[in-house]
């Protein structure tokens, strides 16, 4: 071991030893529109408390899909966000998503652990958008399937994506302990907030993260994730359409969409643009749902839960209810989680509830020993 490596490893041991906070981790969600960080503590009664939260907006096009475009701007925003978080915890769990990641349920023939592992590799290879040797794959068992085999859920990501997100967070001075998939972080919060209601046998729920660059569409049945799809439409699609049709820049378009004319009213022509994009989005959603319904014996859903900044689009929840013919609600972590009133102000609560879920889910991961 070179002297530098020895020094580094000692430094790491010392900082581990000196670590005095709750043995938690900072959840870092680098979304297209903003970085969000959260810190969550597991209470002795098993419930969660949101200890710290912060978000910092990113400039236009800082990341595109899973590729980092504006490195310096992201590092600056990460540092600013961490400062605003006000935490002494330097361990992070960073989330990734995008075309070089995969979440999929696989039906396998089953057998010994080794046989199942081989089957996962064989099967996963067909769906991975990159050569299997370039990726990290993990899987968890769901249970036996009707054909006598086993079902598993695999999570995979291209190593270069994992490395680039890990490196950029580490350059902002946090120590990355875990890289997780954003969708699985959202799922964590969904399971905690909804509790037993979603776990009963025979119940089928839709869970969606309506972000800026994409929508994560998930179906949760009998207490497990059974279907996942990333739809390439999100809030940014509306913003870009406002830019194009109104001849304004990104920031102006975001502001027209969110704040409207300054007195809280969204102008008629903006509503029209929003509705045009929603039509396309709903058509895509309907295709996805029809595909799923036709490949299973399902007929209806027991409920739909939404999260993400684009849940705030005026009229979206109602339109979604009509499309899905089921009750639609926005996931609210505060329903079951308490929060530290010294660090989190009342006027942050709403934003955290719809934009912070992914960061909260990432922060719920415990630090590996
Ligand atoms: N009040 C609002 N009305 C309409 N849209 C909104 C509102 N507030 C936020 N948004 C939109 O929500 C999106 C940001 O949501 P979110 O923070 O969940 O996305 P992200 O995590 O940055 O993106 P992604 O997950 O796709 O990378 C933006 O497109 C923003 O314009
Ligand atoms: Mg997001």
243-262 pLDDT, tens digit per residue, is 999 999 999 999 999 999 88
Instruction: From the CA of 182, give the closest atom in ligand 1.
Output: 25
Instruction: From the CA of 34, give the closest atom in ligand 1.
Output: 22
Query: Minimum-distance ligand to the CA of 311?
Result: 1
Which residues have CB under 8 Å from 5's CB, separation 6+? none
Sign of the Cα torsion 162, 168, 170, 175 reads: negative
What percentage of residues in the chain have a pLDDT greater than 70? 93
What's residue 16's pLDDT? Answer: 41
**If pLDDT is split at 50, 70 and 90, which confidence band does 288 have?**
very high
- Identify whether 3 is part of a domain: no
pTM score: 0.92
Strands 48-57 and 338-339: parallel
Task: Identify which of 62, 211, 351, 359 to mutate to test ligand 1's pocket (most ligand atoms within 8 A of the CB).
Answer: 211
- Identify whether 1 is part of a domain: no
**If pLDDT is split at 50, 70 and 90, which confidence band does 173 have?**
confident
Task: Identify which of 67, 183, 212 to mutate to test ligand 1's pocket (most ligand atoms within 8 A of the CB).
Answer: 212
Half-sphere exposure of 292 (CA within 13 A, CB side): 22
Q: Is 31 in the pocket of ligand 1 (CB under 6 A)?
A: yes
Strand pairing partners for 49? 41, 338
What's residue 143's pLDDT? Answer: 85
Rg (CA), the chain: 21
Residue 238 CA to ligand 1 center (angstroms) comes to 10
Residues 177-234: tens digit of each pLDDT: 999 999 999 999 999 999 988 888 788 999 999 999 999 999 999 889 999 999 999 9
Q: Is 234 in the pocket of ligand 1 (CB under 6 A)?
A: yes
What is the chain's mean pLDDT, rounded? Answer: 91
Q: What is the mean pLDDT of residues 271-299?
A: 93
- Identify whether 369 is part of a domain: no
Q: What is the mean pLDDT of residues 117-121?
A: 93
- Identify whether 114 is part of a domain: yes
Q: What is the mean pLDDT of residues 147-152?
A: 91
- Identify whether 160 is part of a domain: yes
Instruction: From the CA of 238, give the closest atom in ligand 1.
Output: 29
What's residue 147's pLDDT? Answer: 85
d(CA 218, CA 86): 33
- Identify whether 9 is part of a domain: no
Residues 79-106: tens digit of each pLDDT: 999 999 999 999 999 999 999 999 999 9
* Phi, psi of 145, rounded to the nearest 5 degrees: -105, 175
- Identify whether 12 is part of a domain: no
Q: Where are the alpha helices (DSSP H) in the chain?
A: 3-18, 71-85, 113-127, 159-171, 182-194, 235-246, 250-258, 268-295, 316-324, 349-355, 357-363
Q: What is the mean pLDDT of residues 126-144?
A: 91
Residue 184 CA to ligand 2 center (angstroms) comes to 12
CA distances from 213 to 60, 235, 355 (A): 11, 7, 14
Phi-psi region of 308 (alpha: psi -120 to 50; beta: other; left: phi over 0): left
What is the domain extent for residue 41?
Answer: 22-363
Q: What is the mean pLDDT of residues 284-299?
A: 89
Q: Is 204 in the pocket of ligand 1 (CB under 6 A)?
A: no
Query: Minimum-distance ligand to the CA of 57?
Result: 1
- Identify whether 17 is part of a domain: no
**If pLDDT is split at 50, 70 and 90, which confidence band does 297 have?**
confident
Kindly report the CATH number assigned to the domain that includes residue 247: 3.30.420.40
d(CA 125, CA 106): 12
Q: Is 166 in the pocket of ligand 1 (CB under 6 A)?
A: no
Angle between helices 71-85 and 159-171 (to 10 degrees): 60
What's residue 286's pLDDT? Answer: 95
Domain count, the chain: 1
Residue 364 CA to ligand 1 center (angstroms) comes to 22
In this structure, what is the dihedral angle of CA atoms 309, 313, 319, 324, given to the nearest 10 degrees? -10
Which DSSP letter does residue 367 get?
A: P
Closest Cα partner for 340 from 1, 141, 4, 43?
43
Q: Is 355 in the pocket of ligand 1 (CB under 6 A)?
A: yes
What's residue 11's pLDDT? Answer: 40
Q: Is 216 in the pocket of ligand 1 (CB under 6 A)?
A: no
CA distances from 138 to 24, 89, 181 (A): 23, 27, 11
Q: Is 316 in the pocket of ligand 1 (CB under 6 A)?
A: no
Phi-psi region of 223 (alpha: psi -120 to 50; beta: other; left: phi over 0): left
**If pLDDT is split at 50, 70 and 90, which confidence band does 368 have?**
low
Closest Cα partner for 68 from 172, 145, 200?
172
């Amino acid at each position: 071991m070179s002297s530098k490596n020895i020094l580094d490893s000692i430094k790491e041991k010392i900082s581990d030893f000196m670590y005095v906070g709750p043995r938690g981790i900072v959840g870092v969600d680098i979304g297209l529109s903003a970085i969000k960080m959260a810190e969550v503590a597991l209470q002795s009664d098993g419930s969660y408390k949101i200890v710290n939260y912060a978000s910092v907006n990113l400039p236009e096009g800082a990341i595109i899909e899973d590729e980092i475009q504006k490195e310096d701007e992201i590092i600056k925003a990460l540092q600013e966000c961490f400062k605003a978080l006000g935490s002494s915890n330097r361990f992070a769990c960073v989330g990734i998503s995008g075309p070089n990641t995969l979440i999929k349920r696989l039906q396998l023939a089953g057998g010994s652990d080794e046989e199942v592992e081989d089957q996962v590799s064989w099967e996963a290879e067909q769906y991975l958008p990159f050569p299997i040797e370039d990726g990290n794959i993990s899987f968890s068992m769901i249970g036996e399937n009707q054909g006598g085999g086993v079902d598993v859920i695999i999570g995979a990501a291209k190593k270069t994506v994992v490395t680039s997100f890990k490196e950029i967070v580490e350059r902002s001075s946090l120590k990355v302990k875990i890289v997780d998939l954003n969708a699985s972080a959202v799922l964590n919060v969904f399971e905690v907030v909804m509790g037993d209601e979603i776990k009963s046998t025979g119940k089928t729920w839709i869970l969606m993260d309506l972000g800026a660059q994409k929508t994560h569409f998930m179906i949760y049945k009998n207490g497990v994730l059974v279907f996942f799809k990333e739809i390439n439409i999100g809030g940014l699609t509306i913003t870009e359409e406002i830019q194009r049709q109104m001849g304004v820049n990104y920031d102006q378009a975001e502001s027209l969409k969110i704040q409207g004319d300054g007195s809280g009213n969204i102008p008629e022509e903006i509503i029209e643009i929003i509705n045009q994009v929603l039509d396309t989005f709903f058509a895509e959603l309907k295709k996805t749902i029809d595909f799923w319904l036709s490949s299973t014996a399902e007929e209806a859903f027991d409920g739909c839960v939404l999260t993400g900044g684009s849940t705030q689009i005026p009229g979206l929840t109602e339109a979604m209810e009509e499309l899905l013919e089921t009750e639609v609600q926005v996931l609210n972590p505060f329903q079951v989680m308490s929060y530290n009133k010294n660090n989190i102000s009342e006027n942050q609560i709403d934003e955290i509830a719809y934009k912070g879920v992914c960061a909260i889910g990432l922060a719920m991961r415990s630090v590996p020993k």
